[in-house]
Amino acid sequence: MDEKAYDFLKELVEAPSPSGFEQPAQRVMRRHLEGCVDELKTDVMGNLIARIDAGKKGAPRVMLAGHCDEIGFMVKYIDDQGYLNFAPIGGVDAHLVPGHRVNVHGAAGAIRGVVGKKPIHLMEAKERETVVKFKDQYIDIGASDRAAAEELISIGDPVTFAAGLERLQGDRVVSRAFDDKMGAWIVARVLQEVRRAGKSPVELYGVSTVQEEIGLRGATTSAYGIDPHVGIAIDVGFASDSPGIDKREIGEHKLGGGPVIARGANINPVLFDLLVATAKAEKIPYQIDGANRATGTDANVIQLARGGVAAALISVPLRYMHSPSEVLALGDLNATVRLLVAVLARIKDPHMFIPN
C-alpha cells in the first residue's frame, strides 16, 4: 500500500464516528472523493453517496457499501464530583473498557478521559469473577466537580477509545474502528481506481453508510433510494487464526489469505459465482465463508430493498473485533480493491443475476 492510501486510511479510522455521529469520518471521505466522481451528496440520514456515471443508458446500477460508524459510548449523566456516567453505542464488550483512555467529543473539541472502576484490591472475591457493568464504570476527565465538567461536556456527547492506527510486523496493522471504516476506505479506493481507468462499466454508486452498528439503518435507506440491481457490502469478518477461535463454528479465515466471499441465503448465487471466477481469473487470493443465515451486515438489508437486489458480502479478516485494538493485514485490503474493480468490468446486464 502506498503512503497516500495509508495516510487516507489512518485519517479515516482516527476520525471519531460512533453511530449517529458519523460526520467527522464522512468529511474525510468527502475530501478524498471530491473531483474523482460525477456526483457526491449526503442524504438526510448522513449517508455519503458518490456516483460515477456509466455514460450509457440501461447500464446496471451497482451499489458498494461500507459503513463508517464505529462502536463507542455516550455521556448519560454527570455526577456531583464531575464523573461521567456513560452507555455503550453498539456492541461494546464491557470486559475491555475499564482502564482505557477515551476521548469525549464535546462542543469545543475532544476532552481526554479515562474509564474508571473500583480497584481490584477493594473488590470482594465474587465481584472479581464477574463483568463490571457499564453502570458501575465511569469516565474521569479530571474535573473537580459537576460545574467544571459541564463547562466542557454535555449530556449526549459521544465518546471514542483514544487509540489510532499503528504498524505491527510486516503488513499487519492495529487500530480501533477498522470495523468498518476500512470498508468505507475500500469503497472510496474502488471509486478512485475506476475513475483513474477512465470509464465505468456500470452506473456505480459508492456509499459510506451510517448507523450499521445499531441496526443497518443507513444501508436500508440508501439502498431504497438508489434502487440498485447489484449491491455488495464490504465489512470485516472474524479471523480464525488466533488462539481460542473454533474453526468448526466460523470457518477458516486467516489474515493475509485475501478477501472472504460469503455464500448462503443472503447472497445471490450468480453473483457469488462471478466473484469467485473473477478472483481465480485475476489470481487474487480469496477465502469462502458459509453464511447459513442472514448476515449481520449491510448486505442483509440491501438484498431486501424494494423488489430485491442481487447482494453479496465481501469481508476482510479481522482479529479482536469490537475492541480498541483490531488487527488486520493491509494486503487483504488491496486484494479486496482489486477484486471489486475487476468484477465491475464483468457485470454486463442488469438481469444476469436471476438464478436458474
Tell how far CA 85 is from the center of its chain.
26
Look up residue 59 and give its DSSP letter. Answer: P
- Pair 287, 198: CB distance under 8 Å: no
175/134 Cα distance (integer angstroms): 23
Of 226, 87, 233, 62, which is closest to residue 156 (Cα–Cα)? 87
Q: How many other C-beta atoms are found inside a 10 Å radius of the C-beta of residue 23?
A: 17
- Pair 253, 316: CB distance under 8 Å: no
| H helix or E strand, kind and range, residue 116 | strand 109-116
Of 130, 74, 77, which is closest to residue 105 (Cα–Cα)? 74
100/102 Cα distance (integer angstroms): 6
User: What are 25's three cell numbers?
Assistant: 469520518
Task: Give residue 12's identity as a one-letter amino acid code.
Answer: L
What sections of the chain are H helices per DSSP? 3-14, 23-33, 125-128, 146-150, 178-197, 217-226, 247-250, 269-281, 298-303, 330-344
Q: Is 212 a catalytic residue?
A: yes
Q: What is the 3-state secondary structure (H, E, C) of 178-230?
A: HHHHHHHHHHHHHHHHHHHHCCCCCEEEEEEECCCCCCCHHHHHHHHHHCCCE
- Pair 66, 215: CB distance under 8 Å: no
Q: Considering Cα of 260, then 262, then 263, then 269, what sign does the dihedral take?
A: negative
Given 3-state DSSP classes, what are the helix, strand and coil percentages for the chain, each rounded to the nearest 5? 30, 30, 40
Residues facing 205 on adjacent strands? 51, 63
Annotated catalytic residue: which of 22, 212, 213, 326?
Answer: 212
Look up residue 129 and give its DSSP letter. Answer: T
Catalytic site residues?
212
